[in-house]
Amino acid sequence: MSHRIVIVGGGAGGLELATRLGRKLGRRGHAHITLVDRKLTHVWKPLLHEVAAGSLDFSDNDVNYLAQARWNHFEFQPGVLCGLDRGRREVMLAEALDEGGGAMAPARRIAYDTLVLAVGSRSADFGVPGVREHCSFLDTTEEALSFHRRLLRRYLQAHARADPHEGTDMDGHDALDVVIVGGGATGVELAAELRQASWQLPAYGLASIQPQRVRITVLDRAARLLAALPERVGRDAESTLEALGVRVLCDVAVSEVTDAAVLTKDGKSIPATFVVWAAGIEAPEVLDTLDGLETTSRHQLKVKPTLQTTLDGDVFAMGDCAACPLEDGSERSVPPLAQAAQQQARFLAENLPRRLAGRTLPDFRFRNRGSLVSLAGYTAVGSLMGNLLRDVTLEGRLARVFYSLLYRRHQLVVHGMARTAMAIVLARIHRRTEPRLKLH
Ligand SMILES: Cc1cc2nc3c(=O)[nH]c(=O)nc-3n(C[C@H](O)[C@H](O)[C@H](O)COP(=O)(O)OP(=O)(O)OC[C@H]3O[C@@H](n4cnc5c(N)ncnc54)[C@H](O)[C@@H]3O)c2cc1C
């Protein structure tokens, strides 16, 4: 029987790993690769703020796991990770449900020789009251879509109530307050996308909520936006957002979220029709229950620099759900970024076959290529790092080009050159034949 490699989580990292290993080992029968995910399709997570604002139709960008598996020589199994039996080398899966709540696959166990856990992360609520009840999140496609539908509903209702002769709403519901908690890349990018959408929606006849009545606030407890990026990038993002009419509040901590407001620790109440929570991440809690594997306080699996979990060399973890030490000797871990998940996927795709051939694993070294933040169609800001480019800050058109390269790289790994080229052409055609915003 060939070696069984099971990958749980088909996201930015796991899908690239399954695809690469399928082509490398699965095609020749050198190993049996199985990818498990709780969903049937993959959407690259950094696109979700665009799905939420309606500027991207996710169905043009999703990847069907079954088709991907067939084309790339791996097997796909729907399932939800719920436990691990390290003695028997079996991963335990709970029933996987489809969108209608029907069972796609029963609870079961899958045997492995090598297991890679790549289940990502979700927003951390830090125990703030009201967050889970009243906030929207951008952790999954469904959540991003649900936010988009609520937003659109609000415009449609205002439109239906409006006096056609006046073009204004008679109930006074012609304003919208969106508060985004978290001034990292997700919050900043969403604010710009929503501002752009607020200008575009009236052009489709939904003019009852005028752009200037859409009040968007981004708040963060840090002293500035994009605290993880160089100071100049944060300042550029802040001045661009303010020029777009987005209010930026820093040094503000949230004490509670209600159904109509965000309350702050310094006693303010910020009115909110919608609150989006993008204030930090944690790994899924199920990782604390995996047969004694070590985790951090944010539920991430502790791994060695080889990406093997600290207590079991046959169980690997990668991407947002792994706490992998940085090689600089600091206490810090590899940051939870798509570029890190992609680099780890490439590392494992190169080194798991070598391990099968009896060689020792090298250490993973994270190469920070810099980070770029898109401000919708307006601009992008960020910094690049590399062997030739040393921490170069960028903005404008060039920054937008580099920003799009991260997704293009993911598409290239997943689809190959020809299909990526076709996808780009199709997207261009769609841009000319479809509305610029998703209106359903
Ligand atoms: C709105 C937004 C914008 C972002 N922008 C950027 C950016 O510009 N640049 C950047 O570098 N990073 C960005 N990120 C971060 C980036 O998306 C993540 O770092 C990256 O997706 C992590 O990859 P991953 O493979 O670890 O996890 P994910 O891509 O999250 O994939 C996890 C997979 O595991 C599956 N899964 C989860 N739980 C289970 C379970 N119990 N059982 C089975 N399957 C499960 C999920 O369905 C999913 O397919 C952004 C994130 C968000 C939310």
When mean pLDDT is compared across 90-104, 167-181, 245-259, the lowest value belongs to 167-181
Question: How far apart (Å, rounded) are the C-alpha atoms in residues 230 and 253?
Answer: 22
> Measuring CA to CA, how many Å separate 116 from each of 23, 76, 120, 188, 280?
17, 14, 12, 32, 24
Q: What is the pLDDT of residues 219-244, one digit of tens each?
A: 999 999 999 888 888 999 999 999 99
Q: Kindly state if the Cβ of 154 falls inside 6 Å of ligand 1.
A: no
Is the pLDDT reported for residue 104 higher than 70?
A: yes
Strand partners, 257: 262
359-375: average pLDDT: 90
363-368: average pLDDT: 93
Q: What is the pLDDT of residues 118-156, one digit of tens each?
A: 999 999 999 999 999 999 999 999 999 999 999 999 999
Q: What is the pLDDT of residues 154-169, one digit of tens each?
A: 999 998 887 655 545 4
- Structure confidence at residue 424 (pLDDT): 86
272-281: average pLDDT: 96
Mean residue pLDDT of the chain comes to: 92
Q: Kindly state if the Cβ of 45 falls inside 6 Å of ligand 1.
A: yes
**DSSP string computed for 334-372:** --S-HHHHHHHHHHHHHHHHHHHTTPPP--------EEE
Is the pLDDT reported for residue 411 higher than 70?
A: yes
- Structure confidence at residue 230 (pLDDT): 85
Is the pLDDT reported for residue 366 higher than 80?
A: yes
31-39: average pLDDT: 98
Question: How far apart (Å, rounded) are the C-alpha atoms in residues 370 and 15?
Answer: 23
- Structure confidence at residue 437 (pLDDT): 73
Helix orientation angle between 185-200 and 231-243, rounded to the nearest 10 degrees: 20
Q: What is the pLDDT of residues 248-274, one digit of tens each?
A: 999 999 999 999 999 999 999 999 999
- Structure confidence at residue 439 (pLDDT): 76
* Residue 13: closest CA among 276, 268, 337: 337
20-36: average pLDDT: 97
The token pair at 411 is 């598409």
CA angle 396, 400, 402 (to 5 degrees): 120
What does pTM read for this prediction? 0.93
Question: How far apart (Å, rounded) are the C-alpha atoms in residues 395 and 350?
Answer: 34
**DSSP string computed for 101-128:** S-EEE-SEEEE-SEEEE----EE--TT-
7-24: average pLDDT: 98
85-111: average pLDDT: 95
DSSP SS3 for 333: strand
Q: Kindly state if the Cβ of 52 falls inside 6 Å of ligand 1.
A: no
Q: Which residue has the higher pLDDT, 304 or 390?
A: 304
Query: Per-residue b/e over 225-249, b at no fewer than 16 CB within 10 Å?
Result: bbeebbeebbebbbebbeebebebb
Confidence of residue 55 (pLDDT cuts 50, 70, 90): confident
DSSP SS3 for 78: strand
**Hey, what amino acid is at 178?**
V
Q: Kindly state if the Cβ of 46 falls inside 6 Å of ligand 1.
A: yes
Question: How far apart (Å, rounded) are the C-alpha atoms in residues 282 and 362?
Answer: 27
Q: Which residue has the higher pLDDT, 145 or 390?
A: 145
Identify which of 53-62, 270-279, 385-394 has the greatest average pLDDT: 270-279
- Structure confidence at residue 312 (pLDDT): 98
Is the pLDDT reported for residue 246 higher than 90?
A: yes
Rounded to the nearest whole angstrom, what is the distance from the C-alpha of residue 194 to the centroid of ligand 1?
22
When mean pLDDT is compared across 186-195, 221-230, 305-314, 383-392, the lowest value belongs to 383-392
> Which helix (H) or strand (E) element contains residue 415?
helix 397-433
Question: How far apart (Å, rounded) are the C-alpha atoms in residues 369 and 383?
Answer: 8
Question: How far apart (Å, rounded) are the C-alpha atoms in residues 396 and 355?
Answer: 44
- Structure confidence at residue 392 (pLDDT): 72
Rounded to the nearest whole angstrom, what is the distance from the C-alpha of residue 43 to the centroid of ligand 1?
9
Confidence of residue 387 (pLDDT cuts 50, 70, 90): low
Side-chain-side CA neighbours of residue 202 (13 Å)? 15
Q: Which domains does the chain have, with CATH numbers?
A: 3-121+283-364 (3.50.50.60), 131-277 (3.50.50.60), 371-433 (no CATH)
Query: Both ends of the chain: CA-CA distance in Å?
Result: 49
Rounded to the nearest whole angstrom, what is the distance from the C-alpha of residue 139 to the centroid of ligand 1?
7
- For strand 114-117 and strand 312-317, is the pairing parallel, antiparallel, or unpaired? parallel
311-329: average pLDDT: 95
Contacts of 143 (CB under 8 A, 6+ apart): 48, 136, 137
344-366: average pLDDT: 97
Give the total residue count for the chain: 440
Q: Kindly state if the Cβ of 186 falls inside 6 Å of ligand 1.
A: yes
Q: Kindly state if the Cβ of 91 falls inside 6 Å of ligand 1.
A: no
Rounded to the nearest whole angstrom, what is the distance from the C-alpha of residue 190 to the centroid of ligand 1?
16
Query: Per-residue b/e over 113-138, b at no fewer than 16 CB within 10 Å?
Result: ebbbbbbbbbbbbeebebbeebbbbb
Q: Kindly state if the Cβ of 11 falls inside 6 Å of ligand 1.
A: yes
- Structure confidence at residue 399 (pLDDT): 77
- Structure confidence at residue 167 (pLDDT): 46
The closest-lying atom of ligand 1 relative to the alpha carbon of residue 138 is 53
